[in-house]
Amino acid sequence: MARFILRLSGANKISSALDAIRSSSAKVVDQTARMLLVEAPEDEMMALKTSHPEFTIAPEVASYSIPPAPRPMLAGSGLVKP
């Protein structure tokens, strides 16, 4: 199953979505005051987005990096890392 982030906006409480999540097959992986990290089927997340518009729901992605060290590299080389 994919992992999704639910982030609150405004003054809403995280508990408003927890009950809905617990009644589904979604699994809460981590929780903070403003966010939930859940493992769930995408269709369940789509349904949750409809029923809880106060949440922004987005997939968890591993896309952030330190800006690469500005070094020249050989063509095709992956050797030099920051």
Partner 1 sequence: MATLDRPGMGGVIDVAASTKREQYVLLPPRGLRSDNKELGDFFGSLSHMQDPLSRVTRLFYGVSSVQVSTARTDIQVLDSIHEDGAKLVEMSPEGLSILRAAQPDIRVAPIVYYDVAVAPRPHIRQSASTASTLPSLSLPITVVSADNGQVIPGATVIGFTNFASKTGADGVTDANGNVALGLSGNPTELERLYVYPRGGWWPLLEENVSLSPGDVIKLTRIDLAQQDLLREKYEATATPTDGMGIRIGVIDTGAGAHPDLLISGGANFVAGENPADYGDNGVGHGTHVAGIIGARGTVPLGMRGLAPEAEIYSYRVFAQGTSTGAMNYVIAKAVDRAVADGCHIINLSLTTADTEIVLSQALDDARAAGVIVICAAGNDYRAPVGFPASYAYSVGVSAFGRLGSFPNNATQKGNAAPPYGADPNHFIADFSNVGPDIDFTGPGVGIVSTFPGGYGVLDGTSMACPAISGVCARLMSQNPTFLGLPANSSRVKQVHQSLVVQAILMGFGATFEGQGFVKV
On the CB side of 82, CA atoms within 13 Å amount to 6
In the beta sheet, which residues pair with residue 4? 38, 59
CB of 72 to partner 1, least distance (A): 6
- Paired sense of beta strands 2-8 and 27-31, if any: unpaired
Rounded Cα distance between 81 and 67, Å, is 10
Pattern 24-63, partner 1, x by CB under 8 A: ------x-xxxx-x------------------x-x-xxxx
Q: Is 78 in the site for partner 1 (CB under 8 A)?
A: no
Interacting residue ranges for partner 1, rule: CB under 8 A: 5, 7, 9, 30, 32-35, 37, 56, 58, 60-77, 79-82
